[in-house]
Structure formats: C-alpha cells, structure tokens
Homo-oligomer: A and B are copies of this chain.
Amino acid sequence: MHSEPDVAASRPVARRGRESETSKSALTRERILNAAAIVLNRNGYAGTRLSDIAAIAELQAPAIYYHFASRDELIQEVVQVGLRRTMNHVRKSLDALGPGARPMERILTAVGAHLEIVLRESEFAAAAIRNAAQLPPAIRDVQLLDQRRYGALWRTLVTEGIAEGEVSGDLDPWAARMLVIGALNWAPEWWREERGTLEDIVHTARLLVRQGLSPG
C-alpha cells in the first residue's frame, strides 16, 4: 500500500512519504476523507457533492482543494482506502488463525471479518463496495487491481476448501463465492444496529455459509 498514483504533481501540499501524519492539519485532510466516505456511502458517486462533504468536515467547499486536487481524486482515495482496509482486516483475521486452521474455519473467519468491517469498522469499506459499479472508468481502473487481489484471496479460500473436501464440489466455485460475498456486501443495505447485534448477524451468516458450502 505504498504506491500511489502520480497525482502528486497537481496537489499543493506535496506528498510527504510518511503514513499516518498525526500532527499538523493533515488532520483536516483526514476529516475531509471521513466526510467524503459518509456522503459517498449515502448518496453514491454522482450524488457526492463537495458542499455536503464540506458541511460534515466543517469547512468551506473550496478548502477541500487545498488537500485534494479534484473531486475525483478525493473519491478515488476514499474508495481505495475502503477496499484496502477491508482486505487488511480480513487478512489479519485469517493470520490470527494460525497455519493449522481448516479451510472451512478460514472461510467462516473471512465471512465474519468482512461483515465486521463493512457494517461497523469502516464507512470507507461500505462506500467502496457499494459504489464500485458506478464509478467512472478512471477511478474504477485504479481500483481494479486491489479488487482482483481481494477476489483472489477468496478464491484461494474456496479452492482450498474444495481440495480438502470441506466445500462441495457440486458448486460452481465462482458463482458460490460471488453469492456469498454478495450476501455480505448487501448487508449494509438492511442492517441497523437497532434490529440485532452484529454478532447475531455474523453467527447466522456463518451458519448459512458453512452449511451452504459443505458437501451434501
């Protein structure tokens, strides 16, 4: 996650290589980014107005241009952060399992991690996932690489499951994977904290996926 597109030239504030710049008013940058994630999540790509972002970030719209070269660059960064956080969270959860874990256990871990980040951890993740299809080509192309990476992660999980006989070979692996991920990705559309704890959802999702994928 160190390579950034070469937009640096057009940005007033030069890219300082450090990550997580805690000091300064790069905090403002963070505020804008957060606000953008919220708006993007709520209104979609075309409905994301700089004025709305500015209102949430508590500044005037033009001030955004001090931190980002353009609206699209801002949105692109939101989406990128979202996808990367998702992948990192799922990866970390899998790593925590250790190497001895069975394939199905790994799949169920990924299911839980994906739900967690999409529903609770990160507005970014939800924004990135839900708007992927509506982004303009320029942004989508940049995303594609990360998206492929994440897809590959899941493909591996399923493949190993099949290899070890814990996932049914009757299923089309591709369709099965997409359907499962789809069920998780759709969750932000309906889940509200009021209607049940996240843990309950995760529990049900795991049950569903475990039985759904298992060989008859």
Interface pair A189/B44, CB less than 8 Å apart: no
Inter-chain CA distance A54–B183, complex, in Å, is 35
User: Is the CB of A214 closer than 8 A to any CB of chain B?
Assistant: yes
Contacts of A134 in B (CB 8 A): 42-44, 47
* Cα distance A180–B211 in the bound complex, in angstroms: 13
A126 to B212, alpha carbons, bound, how many Å?
Answer: 25
Q: With the chains together, A93 CA to B75 CA distance in Å?
A: 42
* Contact B175–A204 (Cβ < 8 Å): yes
Does any Cβ of B come within 8 Å of A66's Cβ?
A: no
Residues of chain A in range 160-214 having any CB-CB distance to chain B below 8 Å: 168, 170-172, 174-176, 178-187, 189-191, 195-196, 200-201, 203-205, 207-209, 211-214
Instruction: Report if A216 contacts B (CB, 8 A).
Output: yes
Across-interface contacts of A181 in B (CB, < 8 A): 186
> Contacts A171-B204, A175-B200, A205-B179; is A189 near B133 (CB within 8 Å)?
yes
Chain B CB within 10 Å, residue with most, of A176, A178, A216: A178
User: Are the CB atoms of A196 and B175 closer together than 8 Å?
Assistant: yes
Question: Residue A207 contacts which of B47, B170, B187 (CB distance < 8 angstroms)?
Answer: B170
Q: Which residues of B contact A172 (CB under 8 A)?
A: 196, 200-201, 203-204
12 more CB-based (< 8 A) A-B contacts, given A175-B196, A179-B184, A179-B205: A44-B44, A47-B47, A47-B134, A168-B211, A175-B204, A178-B186, A179-B183, A182-B186, A182-B187, A182-B189, A209-B212, A211-B216
Contact flags (1/0) for A146-170 with B, using CB distance below 8 Å? 0000000000000000000000101
Which chain B residue lies CB-closest to A49?
A: B46
In angstroms, Cα B44 to Cα A62, docked, is: 26
Indicate which residue in B132, B204, B205, B211 contacts A189 across the interface (CB closer than 8 Å).
Answer: B132
Q: A202: shortest Cβ distance to chain B, in Å?
A: 9
| Cα distance, A42 to B140, chains bound together (Å) | 14
Task: Report the separation of the CA atoms of residues A186 and B132 in the bound assembly, to the nearest whole angstrom.
Answer: 12
